Amino acid sequence: MPYADPLTEDEVAGALETLDGWAREADTIKRTIACADFRAAIALVNAVAEASEAADHHPDIEVRRYRRVTLTLTTHAANAITRRDIELATEIDRIVTRIGAA
């Protein structure tokens, strides 16, 4: 299966079981992370930006209430969730663990 082909419903459900705090919303997967403070939230955003650039795949990022970061992933070219989204979500989970956000 090519990298950017849409995943099946079962593939998305199975992948979500392996991810921490991600939920499906239509053709996206989304996670909100509560950081200790604003600096930690921005550090998370910067770390996600670096990983996203390396993957050449970029989430929508929203900082709310100064310390909550919401990340939304989808593959726009496919109008669906693909392996690219799952792989970046997995990397984001590693980043969250590494920097100690929840």
| Assigned domain for 41 exists | yes
Task: Indicate the number of domains in the chain.
Answer: 1
Q: Is residue 1 part of a domain?
A: no
pLDDT of 62 higher than 80: yes
pLDDT digits (tens, 9 = 90+) for 45-58: 999 999 999 999 99
Answer whether residue 2 is part of any domain: no
Residue 2 pLDDT grade (very low, low, confident, very high; cuts 50, 70, 90): low
Domain around 78: 9-99
In a domain, 71, yes or no: yes
Confidence of residue 101 (pLDDT cuts 50, 70, 90): confident
Whole-prediction pTM value?
Answer: 0.94
Task: Give pLDDT tens digits for 24-35.
Answer: 999 999 999 999
- Indicate which CATH number applies to the domain containing 76: 3.30.1360.20
Beta strands in the chain (DSSP E): 23-25, 28-34, 60-64, 68-73
